[in-house]
C-alpha cells in the first residue's frame, strides 16, 4: 500500500508540474507574440494615419490624424490576436505633430491566481519621423523616386 500511495503522489506531482510548465510557456510565448503584434500594429496604424493633404500644403511636415490612428490600430490589432486571451488596450498619448503615440496592452488567459487574473503588459512609445532635414514638397519626393 505504501508503494501505491507513493506512485500516486509521483503521478500527481508530474501532472501538476506539466500544468505549471504549460501555463508559464503560454504566458511567455504570449508575451513575445503580443509585443511584436503591438509594435507592428502601431507602426502600420501610424503610417495609415498620416495626413497627406497636410503634408502637401505644409511643405513636408508630417501630421497624423488621431481618429484614423485609433480606428486603424484597433482594426489591425483585432485581426491579429488570439481568441483565447483577453486584451486590455490603453492609448495614453497621441500627438498629431510630430506624430507620437504611447500604447499599452495587457493580456491574460483564463487562468486565475489567488482570485486575480494575471496580466502581462506591454507598452510602446513610437515616434514617426522623416530622414530629411529640410522641408520638401511632394513633387520633389516624386522626382526622387523616378
Q: With cut-offs at 50, 70 and 90, classify the pLDDT of residue 86.
A: confident
CA distance 49 to 64: 5
Kindly report the average pLDDT of the chain as a whole number: 81
CA distance 69 to 50: 8
> Which range of residues forms the domain containing residue 99?
2-145
Q: Name the range with the highest mean pLDDT among 14-18, 26-30, 60-64, 115-119.
A: 14-18
CA distance 26 to 85: 10
Those residues with Cβ within 8 angstroms of residue 120's Cβ, 6 or more apart along the chain or in another chain: 27, 30, 31, 34, 106, 107, 108
Please write the tens of the pLDDT for every residue from 2-40.
888 888 888 998 998 988 887 777 666 667 788 898 999
Amino acid at each position: 500500500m505504501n508503494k501505491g500511495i507513493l506512485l500516486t503522489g509521483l503521478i500527481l506531482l508530474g501532472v501538476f508540474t506539466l500544468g505549471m510548465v504549460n501555463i508559464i510557456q503560454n504566458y511567455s510565448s504570449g508575451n513575445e507574440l503580443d509585443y511584436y503584434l503591438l509594435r507592428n500594429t502601431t507602426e502600420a496604424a501610424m503610417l495609415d494615419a498620416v495626413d497627406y493633404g497636410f503634408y502637401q500644403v505644409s511643405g513636408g511636415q508630417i501630421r497624423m490624424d488621431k481618429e484614423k490612428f485609433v480606428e486603424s490600430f484597433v482594426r489591425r490589432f483585432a485581426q491579429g490576436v488570439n481568441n483565447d486571451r483577453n486584451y486590455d488596450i490603453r492609448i495614453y498619448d497621441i500627438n498629431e505633430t510630430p506624430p507620437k503615440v504611447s500604447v499599452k496592452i495587457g493580456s491574460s488567459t483564463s487562468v486565475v491566481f489567488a482570485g486575480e487574473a494575471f496580466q502581462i503588459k506591454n507598452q510602446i512609445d513610437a515616434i514617426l519621423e522623416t530622414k530629411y532635414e529640410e522641408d520638401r514638397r511632394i513633387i520633389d519626393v516624386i522626382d526622387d523616386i523616378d
